[in-house]
Amino acid sequence: MDLENKVIWITGASSGIGEATVYQFAKHPVKLILSARREAELQRVATQSGLPSENILILPMDVEQYELFPQMVQKAINHFGQIDILYNNAGISQRSFVAETDLSVYERILKIDLLSVIALTKEVLPYMIQRKSGQIAVTSSVAGKVATPGRSGYAAAKFGLHGFFDALRAEVYHDNIGVTVVCPGYINTDISKNALSSDGTQYGKMDENQLKGMSAEKCSEKIFKAITENKAEVYIGGKEVMGVYLKRFLPRLLNKIILKQAPK
């Protein structure tokens, strides 16, 4: 993919994988739209990207308010005239068991991790169809392939992303629009700290597996490669990625491994 003057919109751009991916794209002569809730952090990322200020649009947004997406997309189009790559990266995780989790927690996870992604994609899609060009990427998870205890709502949302984007990929193929689903495993970010507990409060702890996981920088290199090479799906991480292949070829063995993680 020739990235010169391409307009790339990254959500969840203020930290973690999103921030690291901003820096990967900023190594090229691109134009970036950066979105997250924290405007000050977006400004920091924009400055650290090294791109000229005229090549960056700071577009703060709360993905739970997807009724505002039409005007957000219009702002982006008015500013740069087009959107070449949309990377839906914003999301939230979970650390709680089904029997203890309030329904409102599930509603919020599904709203952030699934419905908001569908909503923003639908708003951007007509502009890409009109130009017969574009790339749409989304951060799913290895948990979108293999569900484990304490992640039921998160897994439900991520599994849903695969269904939606697999269908979309086939629908827009003849419009020259690519779809990439990114499935990270354990990446060293604050995702576990920011995860929702059973009552909707912040979990506030760093998982040991997360702490030992791949760096966000290395992960972003693989994401950049997957998006620019129009990969349909990519798995990123360490040995946890083997779960995807165990599920496909040795599902009974995987089930035994997962059962060992069940609450005592």
Angstrom distance (rounded) from CA 140 to CA 235: 10
Model pTM score = 0.96
> Taking 80 as the threshold, does the pLDDT of residue 264 lie above it?
no
Identify the active-site residue in 154, 186, 203, 235: 154
Angstrom distance (rounded) from CA 212 to CA 25: 26
Condensed to tens digits (0 to 9), the pLDDT of residues 22-75 reads 999 999 999 999 999 999 999 999 999 999 999 999 999 999 999 999 999 999
Active site residue 127: no
- Amino acid in the structure at residue 89: N
Question: Widest CA span of the chain, in angstroms?
Answer: 56
Note the pLDDT of residue 113.
98
Angstrom distance (rounded) from CA 212 to CA 195: 18
Note the pLDDT of residue 1.
86
Partners of 233 in beta bridges: 181
Domains of the chain: 7-239 (3.40.50.720)
